[in-house]
């Protein structure tokens, strides 16, 4: 449905996108994920024939966007990052207007209106002024205008941005319900927002594809690049536990970490290795007469995976348990909870931007 080969887009001297190549099959729902300024909007605008590429080839349904923009537009429904809504119109009047702009006859537009209101769950607000709707409903109207002419491809720029948690769930359901009839390409800068909705994720970084795959494939890819971490909770002497762990073949490092388990002599360790050493580690700890309570793989947090792929290396190690600040057993029993960075991705992305090379 989409085939992009060696696309470049320059704004003056500045390269916003390129070299960019990817393709999307009929019926897929794909997320274009990147930090602010990565080139998402530029790519989507080119696909929607709203912007000309500097070079390269962009085809939608095998039709070139530069040579035949009108034919491409009739196949695409586009939701820009700021939906083109008129607050003083009712939902129904606006959607009829959008349908007529797309070239539908009055009769066709009226018929489509009913279908679109239903599929986007807008029937109950059809006679309400758009200005009086909540942000979530306005986004739905934006999607309704994008699908009103029955396009095969939907290009949605940050459709989930700014929605509250309930609206996010509703939007996910709406997008998945549209999947049968449309191929969908949507953008976001928050992995968790789209990982559940999309069949595949394309991570865009500096105008190029940095990685692609399902969320699980992306996590796996990074796990292979990095050392493995195992977190162990046990009952026994801290020093003995550290010594025992460090003596296991394959272990590169071991350190004490905070645990929120309470109890006499509870100790938690994070062990770094270049292979899966869980079995050997457990045997060694038991042989050393340490009371083994729990062993688990240290999981990288979803957002840290994305941040590393998207180019924010400085923040990429945010996942995992925090190292123990003090060795005193009494003071560290109620430490930070394991595996929570507690910081939203947007905040990290903003920090990165401030320290980055954006103008």
Identify which of residues 17 and 256 has a Cβ nearer to ligand ATP in the complex.
17
Q: How far is CA 133 from CA 66, 123, 139, 161, in A?
A: 37, 13, 10, 16
- Mind giving me the DSSP string for 222-268? HHHHS-EEEEEEEES-HHHHHHHHHTSTTEEEEEEB-----STTEEE
Report in angstroms how near the CB of residue 99 gets to ligand ATP at its nearest. Answer: 28
Report in angstroms how near the CB of residue 39 gets to ligand ATP at its nearest. Answer: 5
Do strands 200-205 and 208-213 pair parallel, antiparallel, or not at all (unpaired)?
antiparallel
Identify which of residues 80 and 150 has a Cβ nearer to ligand ATP in the complex.
80
Report in angstroms how near the CB of residue 193 gets to ligand ATP at its nearest. Answer: 13
Identify which of residues 135 and 327 has a Cβ nearer to ligand ATP in the complex.
135
DSSP state of 3: E
Identify which of residues 328 and 357 has a Cβ nearer to ligand ATP in the complex.
357
56, 7 contact by CB (below 8 A): yes
Closest by Cα among 104, 141, 109, 103 to 122: 141
Nearest 5°: the CA angle 132, 136, 137 is: 50
Q: State how far the Cα of 283 lies from the Cα of 90, in Å rounded to an integer.
A: 70
Closest by Cα among 211, 208, 206 to 357: 206
Q: Which residues contact 233 (CB under 8 A, 6 or more apart)?
A: 259, 261, 266, 267, 268, 293, 294, 295
Identify which of residues 42 and 259 has a Cβ nearer to ligand ATP in the complex.
42
Report in angstroms how near the CB of residue 218 gets to ligand ATP at its nearest. Answer: 18
Report in angstroms how near the CB of residue 16 gets to ligand ATP at its nearest. Answer: 3
Identify which of residues 172 and 189 has a Cβ nearer to ligand ATP in the complex.
189
Nearest 5°: the CA angle 141, 38, 32 is: 50
Q: State how far the Cα of 282 lies from the Cα of 278, in Å rounded to an integer.
A: 6
Identify which of residues 16 and 96 has a Cβ nearer to ligand ATP in the complex.
16
Chain centroid, CA 187 distance in Å = 8
DSSP state of 310: H
Contact residues for ligand ATP (CB under 6 A)? 11, 14, 16, 34, 36-42, 189
Report in angstroms how near the CB of residue 359 gets to ligand ATP at its nearest. Answer: 7
Report in angstroms how near the CB of residue 11 gets to ligand ATP at its nearest. Answer: 3
Identify which of residues 37 and 77 has a Cβ nearer to ligand ATP in the complex.
37
Report in angstroms how near the CB of residue 42 gets to ligand ATP at its nearest. Answer: 3
């Amino acid at each position: 449905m989409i085939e992009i080969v060696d696309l470049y887009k320059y704004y003056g001297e500045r390269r916003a996108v390129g070299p960019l190549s990817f393709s999307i099959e009929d019926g897929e729902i794909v997320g274009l994920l990147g930090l602010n300024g990565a080139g998402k909007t530029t790519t989507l605008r080119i696909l929607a024939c709203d912007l000309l590429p500097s070079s390269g080839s962009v085809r939608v349904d095998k039709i070139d966007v530069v040579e035949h923009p009108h034919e491409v537009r009739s196949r695409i429904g586009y939701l820009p990052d700021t939906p083109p809504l008129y607050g003083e119109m009712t939902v129904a009047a606006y959607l009829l207007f959008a349908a007529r702009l797309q070239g539908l006859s009055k009769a066709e537009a009226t018929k489509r209106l009913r279908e679109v209101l239903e599929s986007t769950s807008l029937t109950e607000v059809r006679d309400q002024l758009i200005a009086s709707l909540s942000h979530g409903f306005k986004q739905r109207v934006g999607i309704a205008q994008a699908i009103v002419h029955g396009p095969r491809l939907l290009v949605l720029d940050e459709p989930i941005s700014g929605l509250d948690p309930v609206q996010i769930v509703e939007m996910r359901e709406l997008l998945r319900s549209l999947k049968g009839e449309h191929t969908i390409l949507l953008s976001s800068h928050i992995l968790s927002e789209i990982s559940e909705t999309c069949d595949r994720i394309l991570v865009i970084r500096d105008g190029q594809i940095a990685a692609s795959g399902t969320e699980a494939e992306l996590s796996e890819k990074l796990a292979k690049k990095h050392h493995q971490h195992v977190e162990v909770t046990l009952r026994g002497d801290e020093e003995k536990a550290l010594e025992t762990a460090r003596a296991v073949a394959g272990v590169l490092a071991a350190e004490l970490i905070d645990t929120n388990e309470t109890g006499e002599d509870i100790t938690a360790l994070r062990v770094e290795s270049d292979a899966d050493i869980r079995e050997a580690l457990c045997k060694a700890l038991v042989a050393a007469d340490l009371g083994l309570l729990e062993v688990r793989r240290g999981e990288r947090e979803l957002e840290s995976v994305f941040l590393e792929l998207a180019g924010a290396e400085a923040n990429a190690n945010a996942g995992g348990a925090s190292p123990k600040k003090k060795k005193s057993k009494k003071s560290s029993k109620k430490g930070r909870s394991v595996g929570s960075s507690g910081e939203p991705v947007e905040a990290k992305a903003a920090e990165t931007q401030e320290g980055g090379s954006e103008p």
